[in-house]
Each structure stands twice: as C-alpha cells, then as structure tokens.
A and B are shown apart, each in its own frame.
Chain A
Amino acid sequence: KACTPNYSPGRGWPCFNTDPMLKRDGFEDILEERRNSSDLKYALRCYAPVLYKGVTPCKANMLKNIVLQSDQLHYVINQVSQESGEAPDIIQEEASVILEEMAHRLQISTVRFFAFALSKAFKTLFQHVCVNEEGIQRLQQAIQEHPVVLLPSHRSYMDFLLMSYILYTYDLALPVIAAGMDFMGMKFVGEMLRMSGAFFIRRSFGGDKLYWAVFSEYVKTMLRNGFAPIEFFLEGTRSRTCKSLTPKLGLLNIVIEPFFKGEVFDVNLVPVSISYERILEESLYARELLGVPKPKESTSGLLKARRILSEDYGSIHVYFGQPVSVRSLAQGKVNRSTYNLFPRHIPRKPMEETQSFVNDTAYRIVRLQEDNMVLKPWVLMASLLLQNLEGLELSVLTEQTVWLRGLALSYAAFLDWPDHAPTAKVVSSSLALHRGLACVSGGRVSLVVGEPLGPVTPEEALFNRAVSVLSCASYRNQVLHVFLRPAMLAVAMHTAASSKKNEVYNCFSFLWDMFSNDFILCPGDIVQDFEEACYLLVKTGAVQMPQQDIVMTDIGQPTLSFFNGLLEPFLQGYQVVCRYLCEEASEGLTEKQYIPAVRSFAYSVLCVFTGNLRCYEVLSSDMQKNALAALLRGKLPTQKALLARL
C-alpha cells in the first residue's frame, strides 16, 4: 500500500465538478402557480413534449411487439427451450406473459388525473416544491439529442410520482419508471401507476434467464428508440437512513450496454437529487430499522396514511443535475471494439473492464446526487443534538449551529439557509417543524422520546429512545457526505500512533475501507479522498501539515472533536458487532439468524452500559448489515485489533 499518497489527476472525470466553489442553479417553486390558478385547467392543458430526434410516441402494444420479435429474445427463447425441452411457442408464450406483467401502459388521462390529485395533495403537504429550472432546460436539450436516463435519489414513495409530476409541469416527455413488484400488491393503485408510466420488475430473478431477457430487452428497446426517458433508482430501494445507498448495477448495465454495442451514439445520465425537509416515512423508517416489519404496500394502508395529510412537511427541493454523457465517461476506459467479435443479440456477461466502468459510473452518479442535495438548517442541528443526547441549552445550540453552518459552507454544502432571517428565528422555526423529534423545555433542547402508556420494560424504553435517535440520525445522515472525508481524517489523526502523514494515511485507509458499505466512497478514490480531506481541514485552519506530519492547530479543537463525535456512533456500532462476532456468534450462523441475534446482543450491551455507551444506532439493521459486510470483506483478526484501538 502506498504510504505517501500520490494524488493523480489523471483519473479525470470530465463531467464531475469537484470544485468546492461549485456553482449551482437557483430554484423556482412550482406550487406557487398551482396556488394561484386552477388545478383542473392545469391537469387538462395541452401537453406536447418534444421527443428524442422527433420520434413519434409509440403505443404500448407496438413496443411489446418489438420486444417479443427481437433477435435478442428469440435467442434466449430458443436457448431456454433447448435446455428445458419445452417447445419454443410455450416459452414464447411465457415471455409474453412476463412482458404483460411488466410493461407500462402509459395513458395521458391517468397522468392528468395524477396531475390534478397530486396538485391538491402537494399543496396540503408541502410549503414549496422547488425545482432548478436551468436543470429542466438542460434536460429538455438532452432529451432531444440522445436517449436520457433519469436517476433520482430515493428517499420516499413520493419520489417517482413527484418526478413525473414535475416533468408533466414542464411539458417534458414523461419517463417510464422501473418499479418494484411490491406495488403490484396494491391492486388499483398498481394499475394506476402502470398507466402513469411505471413498469414492474420482480425484486429478485437471479437465475431466470427468460425473465432477465424480457426485462433487459424491454428497457433497451425503449432506450434505443428514444420513446421515453427511462427512470430508475440507482440505490435500488428507498434509503431508510437518508444516507445514500451503495448503487445497484443491474439496470445501469442494461441502459449503458446499447452505447457499448454502438446501437446508440450516446446515453445521457441525469442525476436528480430530491431533498425533503421532512420525510413522510420518517418514524416508519426508524421502526423498520429496529426490526418492526415493514407494512406491506396496500391500498388500505395508503388510505390510512391519509392522516399524514394534516401535517406540515416543509418543502421539497428537486435538483436536476448536469447530464452526464456515457460516451465522454467511457472515453479511454472501455474499448468498444471488444464487442465486435460477438453477435450483439446474444446475451453475455459484461467484461471486467466494462463492469468496473459501470461500477465507477454508478458511484459517481450517486455522489453527484449527494452533492446536489439541499440541506436545511435542521440537519446541522440534528448533528449537534446527537452528540449531546442529554440535551443542550438553546443558546448553545444556536451558537454551535451558526458555527457549523460556516464549516458546512466552507465545505461546499448546498445549504438552504433563509436569507436575512435572524439565527434565533431560523433555529426556532426548524424546531417547530420537527417538534415530533426535539422539544425545548426550560431553555434546553432535547430529543423527544415517545412515552408509551403503562409499565415499560427496560427494553421498551431502549426501543423508544432508539426510535427517536434513529429518526434524528436520518437528518444528521443527510450532511454526512459533506463532512465524511475530513471526519475520517480527524478520527485517523486521533487514533494514529503518531502524527506522521503515512501513519495517519494508513488509519484513514482502514476507516475508508471499513466504511465503504455505509458511505459512498468511489472505488479506487482512496488517495484522492485523503488529499481532499487534508485540503479541507487545512483550508478551514483545523490542521496544518508541516513536512511529513499532520497536526492539529491551536484553533482546530472544536472542528476535530465535532468530527470525532460525528463518526462515533458508527465506530461504536462496528465495535459492538465485532464484539458480538468474537464473543457470541456460534459456528454456522446463517445470515437470516444474524440480524436478530446481533440485535438482542446489542440490546443486552446497551442495557448494561447505559452510562458510557450510547450507540443506539447499532440497533439499526442497516448498520448491522454494513458492519458485517465490512468485516467479511476484511481479515477479522486485524480488524479486531484495530477496532480495539479505536
């Protein structure tokens, strides 16, 4: 491993702006017009979006026919028929059934219905729905030039309705959206979604060749012919923690392949960042992470959720990022001519070069999503509150929030801090919006813990406490991507045996590797991330780097200790998991048993050490899974030794 990190700018990703003074567009509130004019008129207005190179929109049935008659599908049908001994017609019929179950049936009337209903709902739920119009203009341009893939972040069920709503509002081509099959459970709603452009895919179909062939050909046909932008969630599922999830590559592979095969000149990937000031599913997520089963998607469940309509969820910011050209990204990274010697209609596992390109691309896109997430003052306050679980003087909180705001801004956070409002006002209105999470009493701010009626077992108390901590953490998590690299450096400095740069780097790289399931760390970027962390800490005066050393400055203490505190829950959580595996875990533990077992171990640890161990977050199944993955990746003994040191 390189001791002296060597930042190589040669990895240049032309489309990614890592300039800390990143210029971002302004926003426009699309609800404003909805509040001032008729929703019905809006839902019925003329809708005539421009399409890719002026293609005429394709009827859903025609699309199905193209897919069923494609060489690609025929090849797999024959293959499956030979393997299974079934006649090709029967397999063909199966394929047709799969496609029927999958395909969207976009209908403008349904879209208009949603346009009307969502206008009403959004106006009740949200103060503002803000969109960067420049991003919309760029998107409009991109749609005409090359096939477009929309890649929004995924925090809420609301995401894809919101996306379609916005595109309809701006008279842009409506996307077709890859949705999980679980929606299909909601009979009526599932069909409604289908008619508004969703197509449904099974959550897992690993070995099913035919399913994969139908699915990938369906997506590619839509992409190649440019009938509609394709939309899917790189993260694969809603992030329950509000941290970005490490990307899933299946669909990205599918949409990029037509470029490698020369079937399209280019593909534009458009990262979209959807930031919610308050997430509708906030406490639901915390409970889910703590092991309360996720409510099954059902229409009646949706109706029950109506009570959320009476609450204020603040505002939503939707940022359409710069379209990323796959062609420019792949320049010099993937040799397309390696596709020349194999018939293009025969499915083939992507080559290593391609796989790592797609993986890299996925990470870059998720980072772009992160970069353009709009942060509210509350996420800073939540970060501070979580480091002071016993509560905090309001004045201290205010003061520290102002300090943290400065730090965040100098790290290029996309912070939506109200102009010209006194700080106290900003803090109090944030507290008011999130009154379910934090309250002020006697000048002290502390987390709200749900008090169930009747006698409470220690476990129940712990559970309630954990719900409020995890809910609060989902806000802190939103700012993590801004502070992550310097924070890891701060921890590395804290734990390294000396201040020698290479020792600190070794610690940093240990942390980097360990946390690569929890945070978005682009594969291979370790040196670059270290350099960036150094640069940022030096820039804000917390650290200086004489010769081969990295040392804290006189004024560095608050910053470094804040960063240490920021990552502490993660470090403690990993330690607990590590202890569990070393002390308790029996041989032959299955993955299914692991989560409940580690959870009850964590409960017992927390009950005993309520004093100094406050890592409620280790109760989160998300952290448990990530920690396990990290430990499985590394060599356990070394990790244990190092964890003990932390």
Chain B
Amino acid sequence: MLTSDSCLSLHKHGSSMASDSNSSESQRIAQQRLRIIAGHLQKHKDDDSGTIATECKAEANKGTVPRKRQEIMKWNGWGYSDSKFLFNKKGQAEFTGKRYRLSGMVLPSLQDWFENTFGASVNHKSPATPALNASAVPPASLNEAFVEDLKATGIPFSHEAEDRVFRAHGHCLHEIFALREGKKFERVPDMVVWPNCHNDVVKIVELACKHNVCLIPYGGGTSVTSALECPPEETRCIVSLDTSQMNRILWIDEKNLVAHVEAGIIGQDLERLLNESGYCTGHEPDSMEFSSLGGWVATRASGMKKNVYGNIEDLVIHIKVVTPRGVIEKSCQGPRMSTGPDIHHFILGSEGTLGVVTEVTMKIRPIPEYQKYGSVVFPNFEAGVACLREVAKQRCAPASIRLMDNEQFQFGHALKPQVSSIFTNFVEGLKKFYITKFKGFDPHQLVVATLLFEGDRERVLQHEKQVYDIAATFGGLAAGEDNGQRGYILTFVIAYLRDLGMDYYVVAESFETSVPWDRVLDLCRNVKERINRECKERGVQFQPLTSCRVTQTYDAGACVYFYFAFNYRGLADPVHTYERVEHAAREEILANGGSLSHHHGVGKLRKEWMKESISSLGVGMLQSVKDYVDPDNIFGNRNLL
C-alpha cells in the first residue's frame, strides 16, 4: 500500500510539472482553485489532529518508508528495488519500473555512449552478489540492560542482520561496492530503534546515557561522506536511531507561512503532504526522494531551487534537538534574533554528533502558479560560466540555473528515450543542424545551461526573457524546454546509472565544492586534469570520464559538482584507486580556492581537512561544544571532528 501511494504521488508530481507549462490559462486557474479548496479541506483534518499532534501516533504509518526499508529499496544499490537500468537482450538500455518519467522506456543511444566513453562492453559483466550473506555480518553485541529498559517503553526495535546492515552505510562508492562484492563488515549497528515521536527520542537518549550506549541517528541513508559508517574502534553497543517513522506534519501556520514537521519525514513526503494543502517548501535537493528533513539540517543541505526559497539554513525557523544534556530549542519563532551566536548554527551541519533533530518549524510557500523549464546552448564552457556570473550579478537567477559541461551534455543526450514520432526526430535534427552548423558551435565544445522558472505566469515570461537576453550577449542560444527538463531528470536517475555502471566494471562517484566566481574556470579545468593525471599514474587503463556542472549561483561564487567515473578492468583494488584519485581531486579543489564541501558535508571522508578548512581554533570551538553537550560521546559516529 505504501508503495503504490508514493508511486502515485510521484506520478502526480511529475505530470503536474510536465503539463503546467502547456496547459491553457483557464485549465491552469481551475487547477489552482481546486488545489486551494483541497488545501482548505486538508486543513480541517489537520486541525482535528492538531490536538493529538504532540502525542505519538498509534495508527499505521503513512510515510513512504517502512521500517523494513529492504521491502521496497535495494539493499546494495540506489533507490527502489523495482527501478533499475539494464541492457536488454538486444543490448539496448532500458529503465524498469513505473515510478519515473523514464520508467519503461528504451534508451537507444545509451549503450554506444557507455561503451565509447568508458571502453566498456555490455558483454563484460561484473554482477553483484545476489543476496546479503548474513554470516558476513558481525553478531550483535547487545547491552542487555538497555534492551530491557527499551522494551518497557514499547518503542519498536530490531537486531536482525538485514536491518542492521542497511543502516551501516550511506551511498559512498566504497560502501556500495563492498555490499555488491559481499565483503565482510568490520562494524555494523548492533540494533535499530524506530522512535515514533519526539518523546520516544527523549526516552531513547536517556536510556543510552544511562547504559552508555552509542547512538547513531539515521534519516534517509543518502549520506555520501561515510557519515553513517560505524567507527570500527567503538566497543559499546551501537544503536542506530532510525527517524523514518517520525514523519508527520504536526501543524501548518498559514498566517506566518510556516509548518511544524517531524524531522524524519523524507523530502517527497513533505512536498506531497504540503502540496495537498496548496503549499510547498521549495527545498529540493537531488536526493529529496529519500533524504530526510533532519538529515538536511544535520548536513546543511542545499536545494535545487534555493535561488527562490533559500538553503536549509534560510528555511528553518525553529529546531528541536534531543541531546544527552537535554533538549535544545529556542523560546520563540521570531524571524531573526540578535541573541548571541545563533544556536541553530551549532545544530546545522553537526552531522549527528550532538543529538537527534526531532522537530523543525520551516517556512512554506504557496505552490507556484506556473513553472517553466528552459535551456540555453553556449559555444563553450567559458561563455556559459560568464553568463551565469552575469545572471548572478544582476540577481535575476531563475529558481534553478545549472550549467553542464560538454561531457554532461553528451551524457544527457545518451539518455534520450526512443523518439515516438518521425516529426519530433526531424525537429530535433533541424535544431542540432542549426546549432552545430549554422551557428558554428563545435559539438565537442558546446555546453548547455538548464533553467527552471517559477512564479506567476506573467513574471515567469518576463524573467525568462531577461535571462535569455543576458545569455544572448554571451553567445547563448535558447535550446528549448525539453533539453532543460532532461537535465533535471538526469539528476534523479544518475544514482541509478551508477548501479548500471557497476554491473559492467565502471565505478563512479560525484563530489562538490563551492568557489568564488573568478576561480570557477580554473578550478574546473585543474580538477579534471588532476583526475586524468592521477588515473593515469595509478594504472587506470581507460580514459576516465570527468565532468562538471555549475549547479548553484551566489552573489560571490558558485557551487560546482563533479562526476567522475572510470572503467576499472585490470585494477587489483579499484575502490582504493578510486579513493586515492578522489583524495587528490579534493586537494586540488582546496588548492584552487574551493571549499571542503558546499552541501554534502564532511562525515568521516573529509575529516582530515577540517583543521585546514576552519583553523585549529575553529575545530577547538566545535570540540568544546561537543564536549559540553555530549561529554560521554553518546552520539559517537565520530563525524566532523
């Protein structure tokens, strides 16, 4: 039931995006009115439940994620079990399942692109271990006294191998690779607990302190910084505190446009539920299908549409955190305070080292009336960056503006589904001819910026014109809505594509940084070159794919996102090789004026650079907060410091 529910929502979500732009004005207004009416109806229901909101719910969970995550999600890869890329018997790529716009489609050009880019072959498979080998999982070492006390509270828990392993990792390459290879785990959580509400968390943390048990908060499990990895040296019982069942919207305050939400809710559920009331948060990180509100707060997440809605730190009004010392929260919901350093900033980015975020009050907005995708083709990356810089300078960035480099542009094209009519094909062909021949763009140089505009229709159209006019001064050429939308689809399916790559000897990962405008080009070029050089020096036999895109613009700089993949045939320890290359790439980023992370966080993967990044005094400041809030290191995931 849960599955179909979420499936429905996604379809709805997807189709509303797709149809809004080409529906007629009257249809659109009707839809908007319906939505508002639905919102009013919904609100009554919320008001009713408002009185019991503070109590833990007894009824069945309505969120997408069940306690047994493995029932709907892959245990050794990204996303839903029913959705995956594969090369069919004809060698053509297809995407299974029904959840996504690409689902059930054949992607005729993917195989060529894949084989040519990586020197891989669909005949050389590197299949994953089919099922979890329970004997490879270390036995649970339980703290009996804690278990006894926990039982008395009635909070559900488990120490089954599958549940524990699922919460022993995020989605770093080395973690997924190890799962696929059936490698033995050094350390996994000894048990998993599923609190249903804030009070459950308070009880669990109290018991953990009482019995000296190590707690590791677990939200959506989408970490890519080794943040969920259990420290191998931890000898206490490790309890994974899975917040996935704390997923209700407790109330919506339309006067102030804020909503009070339990922190375990995942992005897609939050948006779906708010949409029912005519609202949205506008916070859409690429991982929003699975990542949780608490996780966003704990890692300082950033969403695709931050230009309109802001990043997580701009969105939160109030945070409630359970720590070993008690509960931290503010006394009011004032929109800004001058009361010493903002305590929210101790929590934002604390990566589960201080406590568990249980409830968050965050800003909401009415669902935008109109949405429109767009894209612009530039002759080269330099022109594209110059354009984005100008857009940022004029502070007229659309909800989202991203610049993909040529490699990613070609990658995007390889994901084009089979075209249904000869006519679209013909139009596509004409466009391509116009861009590459008539305008003299080199197909191996050109890059594309994808755009997403939001707001009321008139404004969007006006805004669109402004951006396209700026683009034109940098040689940019409007390239249609389809190309734009395809760009955004890519971000949702890219993680699924990594699983496909790993089936055929290709490992891949992404990493990100933020950098001042004047260094964007130099950083991109140098990091790519460094990756290529390191791969060569470390014996990678095939040319790696290195690709980047500028995903966010700020007044003073940009966020840059890198993809990096290579064919690892002939390498004894591909994961080690990969890690050394990523390490070198990060050093190159830091040497070129990039930050340690824009939104992924530090985890354990990038801890070694913290001192360099924020000075040893800075590390000391954070450490002293940790020492005060959690003197016994109950939240012992050892991230960050």
Contact = CB atoms under 8 A, between A and B. Distances in A.
Interface in A305-347: 335-337, 339-340, 343-344
Interface stretch (B73-81, B123-131, B461-469, B515-523): B515-523
Contacts of B525: 265
Contacts of B519: 262, 344
B164 interface: no
B591 A337 contact: yes
A336 B529 contact: no
A147 to B, nearest CB: 13
Given A262-B519, A262-B522, A339 B593 contact: yes
Contact of B612 (A261, A337, A339): A337
Nearest to B519: A262
Interface in A342-365: 343-344
A549 interface: no
Nearest to B515: A340
A262 B530 contact: no
A263 interface: yes
Interface in B580-612: 590-593, 612
A623 B612 CA distance: 48
Contacts of A339: 593
A144 to B, nearest CB: 13
Q: Which of A261, A265, A335 has the largest number of chain B CB atoms within 10 A?
A: A265
A262 B518 contact: no
Majority DSSP secondary structure for residues of B touching A: helix
B526 interface: yes
B518 A336 contact: no
A265 B529 CA distance: 7
A340 B522 CA distance: 13
B593 A265 contact: no
Interface string A114-132: 0000000000000000000
Contact of B522 (A263, A335, A337, A343): A263
Contact of B592 (A335, A336, A343): A336
Nearest to B522: A262
A340 B593 contact: yes
B523 A262 contact: yes
A340 B525 CA distance: 17
Contacts of B530: 265
Given A337-B612, A344-B518, A262 B529 contact: no
Contacts of A343: 518
Contact of B591 (A262, A263, A344): A262
A551 B612 CA distance: 51
A337 B526 contact: no
Contacts of A261: 522
Contacts of A344: 518-519
Nearest to B532: A265
Nearest to A263: B522
Q: Which of A261, A335, A340 has the largest number of chain B CB atoms within 10 A?
A: A340
A270 to B, nearest CB: 19
Contact of A337 (B518, B529, B590): B590
Nearest to B595: A340
A608 B530 CA distance: 67
Contacts of A262: 519, 522-523, 526, 591-593
Contacts of B523: 262
Majority DSSP secondary structure for residues of A touching B: loop
A337 B525 CA distance: 17
B332 to A, nearest CB: 38
B526 A265 contact: yes
Nearest to B592: A262
Interface string B521-565: 011011001100000000000000000000000000000000000
A579 B68 CA distance: 94
Interface string A245-283: 000000000000000011101000000000000000000
Interface string B423-453: 0000000000000000000000000000000
Contacts of B518: 343-344
A586 B612 CA distance: 55
A337 B526 CA distance: 14
Contacts of A263: 522
A261 B525 CA distance: 13
Nearest to A335: B591
B544 to A, nearest CB: 16
A494 B612 CA distance: 52
A339 B518 CA distance: 13
A339 B590 CA distance: 10
Contacts of B593: 262, 337, 339-340
A340 B590 CA distance: 9
A337 B513 CA distance: 15
B498 to A, nearest CB: 27
Contacts of B612: 337
Interface in A529-548: none
Contacts of B591: 262, 335-337
A620 to B, nearest CB: 46
Interface string B598-628: 0000000000000010000000000000000
Q: Which of B530, B591, B612 has the largest number of chain A CB atoms within 10 A?
A: B591
Nearest to A343: B518
A262 B522 CA distance: 6
Contacts of B529: 265
A318 B518 CA distance: 41
A262 B518 CA distance: 11
Nearest to B533: A265
A333 B352 CA distance: 36
Interface in B98-121: none
Contacts of B592: 262, 336
A344 B522 CA distance: 12
A379 B518 CA distance: 54
Contacts of B526: 262, 265
A286 B590 CA distance: 53
A370 B519 CA distance: 39
B238 to A, nearest CB: 36
B228 to A, nearest CB: 29
A336 B590 CA distance: 8
A14 to B, nearest CB: 12
A123 B634 CA distance: 85
A509 to B, nearest CB: 36
Nearest to A340: B593
Contacts of A340: 593
Interface in A202-231: none
A335 B593 CA distance: 11
Nearest to B590: A337
A340 B519 CA distance: 10
Nearest to B523: A262
Contacts of B522: 261-263
A558 B592 CA distance: 57
Q: Which of B518, B526, B612 has the largest number of chain A CB atoms within 10 A?
A: B526
Contacts of B590: 337
B385 to A, nearest CB: 15
Nearest to A336: B591
A335 B590 CA distance: 10
A336 B594 CA distance: 12
A76 B593 CA distance: 23
A339 B522 CA distance: 13
A457 B415 CA distance: 94
A146 to B, nearest CB: 9
A337 B523 CA distance: 12
A560 B522 CA distance: 56
Contacts of A337: 590-591, 593, 612
15 contacts: A261-B522, A262-B519, A262-B526, A262-B591, A262-B592, A262-B593, A265-B530, A336-B591, A336-B592, A337-B590, A337-B591, A337-B612, A339-B593, A343-B518, A344-B519
Task: In the A-B complex, list the 3 residue pairs whose CB atoms are closest, starting with the nearest.
Answer: A336-B591, A262-B592, A340-B593
Interface of B: 518-519, 522-523, 525-526, 529-530, 590-593, 612
Given A262-B592, A265-B525, A343-B518, 7 more contacts: A262-B591, A262-B593, A265-B526, A265-B529, A265-B530, A336-B591, A337-B591
